[in-house]
Structure 1
Amino acid sequence: MLRLSIKDIVLGKNIHIPSESDYRKSLLVGVCCIILAFICLVNGVLNVLVWDLNLTPYFMIGISGGTLGYMLNRFQKFELAKHTLLLISLFLIFIFMSNEGKYYGSQLYLFTVLVASISLFGYRRIGIWLSYAILAFICFSVSELTNFKVISVDAASESKEDKIYFINYLFTFVGLTVIIYFQVKLQYKSEEKLIKKDQQLKESEERFRMAVEGTNAGIWDWENINKDQQWWSPKLYELLGYKPEEIEANRVTFKNLLAQKEDYPKLVNDFKKHFRDKEPFSVEYKFKCKDGSYKWFHGSGQAKWSENKMPVRMVGSLVDITEKKIKEEEIQEKNSLLEKTNAELDRFVYSVSHDLRAPLNSIQGLINISDTTEDSQELKQLMSMMKNRVKKLYSFIDEIINFARNSRTEIIKEPVNLFAITSDAFDNAQFREQAVAIDFRILVDKELSINTDKGRISIVLNNLIDNAIKYHRHSQPGKFIALKAINDTNAVIIQIIDNGQGIPLQAQDKIFDMFYRASDTSKGSGLGLYIVKEMIERIGGEIFLQSEPGEGTTFSIKLPKV
């Protein structure tokens, strides 16, 4: 079944007008053209059959004008159709008003023309519809204030006048009603679209808000790049630990929040590169929060450029990646430690096998000699030499155990009284054979304590004191080993001082390396000082060496108080 809509009748089929406003206005033009032709047709028929006022030619102009406007509108000549409709309507109204009888209320159609011109051209094209309003006012003034007459109409009877008035009032009412209906319909459609868009906007904002909250991101909007007008979301302030009223959103604040001020020029260059090359903006920087803590943030954004390719606005986000950075640093530290461990393991296996084989070969050689002699004095001497080799093996094994424990044993920090642990280390050392005539001096406050790993610091002190004894100048008088503690602001510095042989200058840079021996006459395994350094670093400290060959050596250990 064939069904035709008003749109099909007025505009034709398969006509698409993107704008709802333009579509409604075009539809109104076509309907008004039909109304104009219909009014003229009805009046023409009545004029011939009933009123006999000799106006038929003018009604024919109206019918032709309405038909012309309708056809122009159908062929999408919308602007031309509007002007055709309004000009012919004004022409006919002026003709009918400019006669002795003024055609009984024809001036009422001026209101319809005025309302139609405003509706068809809209508020933005005020110059056009205002011109039609002025033209209508001129037509009204000429017909009312002058004796100018275009046509002469014979007087009609009173009953005919009433009917003509009624017809003109009726058509004026119909015309205004149609125009107002289209305006109301257009307003309704516009409001409906606005409500729909508002709902969509709210839904979009809700999705955006949930997405942002889900990513723990703070949003920033550089609204005007040239004037540094910025907006920061509440979440961004929250991530930094501030309230919105505590700091202003601008470049100066951004610069002051950077943990390292030297990062600011790099950040500026990153922005400039994005503005210039239009590449993705993605940076990572550390910021200082209100509570004094530091956080890593990943920043990303997108600029908007003007027609002349100048940046005018930029929107972006900051995401807290502190945990990610900590994990990355931990992984990097573990990788570095693993590389170091692997390298040290190779050296360790080689050196241990060498250092274990040497005393074992020596013992085996001494055993072989003892098998060839029966001299009790020589056998006693050989046994003493074997004991020394075994003692050296035990000492080496102890160092290996300490090395293994340091890398695997958990750090346990507890309050440690430095005077007490120093006294214990000196008590262990002063009865050794080489410690004879050495003056042990404790220069430590009896109340001084530090929060550290007691087992490791004890091994460190014993090792350094043993080295000081071992490499002292035993033939010289006035030998001493002193242990001194300096209470600094955030740390305690422990010094082991002696006036022994000292360490050659060429060996001082390598003295803490694994299995390093300063000379072939060195008595140690080369593990002692390496273990000392590793243990101190494991508990967060540092060790420094100051030595003068022939004058003595000072090892300084800097440990944090907590």
Structure 2
Amino acid sequence: MLVSQAIDRIYFYKDGERTIFSLAHPGDISKIKRLSDGNQHENNQSACEVRLKNHRSKYVWMELKCAYQYDERNQLDYIQFTALDITQRKQEELKVKHALKREKVLNVQLKQSKEEIDHFLYMASHNVRGPLATMMGLTQMLRKSSESTSKILEMIDQCLEKIDRSIHNVVLYEKNNKQEVKVDYVDFSALINEVKESFDDSDNNPQIEIHSIIPEDIIFYSDVERLKTIFEILIANAIAFKKPQHPRPYLLIKVKEQDGLLYVSFCDNGLGIKPEQLEKIFQIFYRSSSNSSGAGLGLYIAKKALQKIKGHIEVRSIYGKGTEFTLQLETLNKHAQVNHQ
């Protein structure tokens, strides 16, 4: 089966390259063979879409039609092929296919985001209304009680702290969802010291030793504000779950480079996490116990923030001995030297 002289003139095929099979894409040869089997087609005509090689050795999409000519004995005499270039049409079809696939993915993401936001708003309002209801009851007790008010005021303070944490977490959640990633040079020593000072200045002094090991030659670029949020959450977590009676609770923060990635570990000697809880601690509003004072948002927000900066978090823990969170980070812009002073 040879290519016609007209196609030869248009595509400038070289001598010896003008059989239809030699021009066809390997994946389409079987189509042409089926098409060339006249016994398969009762109407004496058929078509298929195949890729044929042009004079630049590039494959173009062609609509290949063939007509079957039979002799007086009804035996196949010859097959006449005609080809129509449909490359542009196939490219448009591919664009539409990709657009539809992208739209489907976006619709799934939109549905998941809506469900997540609805659940978040419900739980966030619950976390605020609960302490408010408790405070209302406590104020009623104050009006009726003739005993010392110090205990009741302490309970009110605890409720206010819960409300403050809930509102703070809502703000962090919203900022992480809406803020664009801003790449800058990360000074890990300065970042850790800033976060440590924020806890030292708080009314509830952490009473936990925080140490860090940071190589001096680290050059790293990422979103500093998101990293600050993540560090705050992990340090707060170590403080919240330290052993109450331990003589020396501590947190060690270690930064290291390995295989082109940066690893930051947060290792404490606190209460630890039960094995059955390890897979759940990053879920939204998950609390490891009913006695937990948090809203179950911190680690969820930390994981979401990491996803924004191409990061990953893992946890290892021995219940009763301590926990280690490890961040895996990649630099976001190695050429942003202008921001490093």
CA-CA distance at 1:427 after TM superposition: 2.7
Distance, in Å, in 1 between the alignment partners of 2:80 and 2:268 is 69
Distance, in Å, in 1 between the alignment partners of 2:139 and 2:33 is 83
Q: Secondary structure at the match of 1:520?
A: coil
Q: Write the letter of the residue equivalent to 1:435.
A: P
Q: What does residue 353 of structure 1 align with?
A: 125
| Conserved 8 A contact 2:47-2:63 | no
Q: Write the letter of the residue equivalent to 2:287.
A: R
Q: Which of 237, 260, 265 is the aligned partner of 1:467? A: 237
| Conserved 8 A contact 2:50-2:62 | yes
| Conserved 8 A contact 1:413-1:451 | yes
Q: Write the letter of the residue equivalent to 2:127.
A: D
Q: Secondary structure at the match of 1:441?
A: strand
Which whole-Å deviations, capped at 9, do the CAs of 1:422-477 have from their partners, x for residues lacking one? 222223335664632x3312111234232111111100001111001111123123
Higher RCO (C-alpha 8 Å, min separation 6) = 2
Matches within 5 A, 1:382-461: 382-430=152-200, 433=204, 435-436=206-207, 438-461=208-231
Q: What does residue 367 of structure 1 align with?
A: 139
Distance, in Å, in 2 between the alignment partners of 1:308 and 1:362 is 95
C-alpha RMSD of matched pairs (Å): 3.7
Distance 1:276 1:419, change over 3 A: farther
The TM-score with structure 1 as length reference comes to 0.46
Distance 1:473 1:541, change over 3 A: same
| Conserved 8 A contact 1:498-1:553 | yes
| Conserved 8 A contact 1:303-1:311 | no
CA-CA distance at 1:272 after TM superposition: 3.6
| Conserved 8 A contact 2:47-2:65 | no
Matches within 5 A, 1:95-494: 223-224=18-19, 226=21, 229-230=22-23, 268=27, 272=30, 275-276=33-34, 280-281=48-49, 300-303=61-64, 307=76, 317=87, 331-375=103-147, 378-430=148-200, 433=204, 435-436=206-207, 438-494=208-264
Distance 1:225 1:520, change over 3 A: farther
Q: Secondary structure at the match of 1:526?
A: coil
Say whether 1:550 aligns with 2:320. yes
Structure 1 or 2, whichever has the larger Rg, is: 1
Distance 1:304 1:328, change over 3 A: closer
CA-CA distance at 1:271 after TM superposition: 5.7
Count of aligned positions:
294
Distance, in Å, in 2 between the alignment partners of 1:440 and 1:310 is 83
Give the helix-richer structure, 1 or 2. 1
CA-CA distance at 1:369 after TM superposition: 0.3
Distance 1:505 1:304, change over 3 A: same
Unaligned stretches of 5+ in structure 2? 12-16, 36-45, 52-58, 69-75, 333-341
| Conserved 8 A contact 2:199-2:205 | no
Distance, in Å, in 2 between the alignment partners of 1:273 and 1:506 is 55
Matches within 5 A, 1:79-94: none
Say whether 1:521 aligns with 2:291. yes
The TM-score with structure 2 as length reference comes to 0.73
Q: What does residue 511 of structure 1 align with?
A: 281
Say whether 1:499 aligns with 2:269. yes
CA-CA distance at 1:394 after TM superposition: 0.7
- Which moved further from structure 2: 381-390 or 356-365? 381-390
Give the strand-richer structure, 1 or 2. 2
Q: Write the letter of the residue equivalent to 2:132.
A: L
CA-CA distance at 1:337 after TM superposition: 2.7
| Conserved 8 A contact 1:419-1:445 | no
Q: Secondary structure at the match of 1:389?
A: helix
| Conserved 8 A contact 1:443-1:484 | yes
Distance, in Å, in 1 between the alignment partners of 2:277 and 2:169 is 21
Q: Write the letter of the residue equivalent to 2:231.
A: L
Q: Secondary structure at the match of 1:371?
A: helix
Distance, in Å, in 2 between the alignment partners of 1:374 and 1:467 is 38
Aligned-residue identity in percent: 23
